[in-house]
Amino acid sequence: MDRKIIGERLKYARDELRGMSLQDVAEASGVARSTVQRYETAKIQNIKLPVVESFARVLNVNPAWLIGKSDDMEIPSTNFIDTSLFPNIFPLPKTKKVPLLGTIACGEPVLATENIEAYIDMDSDIHADFALRCQGDSMINARIMDGDIVYIRKQDIVENGEIAAVLMDDCSESQATLKRVYISDDKIRLCAENPNYQDMIFFENDMNKVRIIGKAIAFLSAVK
Among 11, 179, 187, 221, which one carries the catalytic annotation?
A: 179
86 CB-near residues (< 8 Å, 6+ apart): 1, 67, 69
Annotated catalytic residue 138? yes
Mode of pairing for the β-strands spanning 210-220 and 95-101: unpaired
Q: How far is CA 13 from CA 48, 59, 173, in A?
A: 19, 6, 38
113 CB-near residues (< 8 Å, 6+ apart): none
SS (H, E, C) 161-187: CCEEEEEECCCCEECCEEEEEEECCCE
Q: How far is CA 95 from CA 53, 123, 155, 186, 214, in A?
A: 15, 4, 22, 42, 21
Among 138, 172, 187, 215, which one carries the catalytic annotation?
A: 138
| Burial status of residue 160 (CB atoms within 10 A of its CB: 0-12, 13-18, 19 or more) | exposed
**CA atoms 99, 29, 218, 161: torsion sign:** negative
Annotated catalytic residue 224? no
| Catalytic (active-site) positions | 138, 179
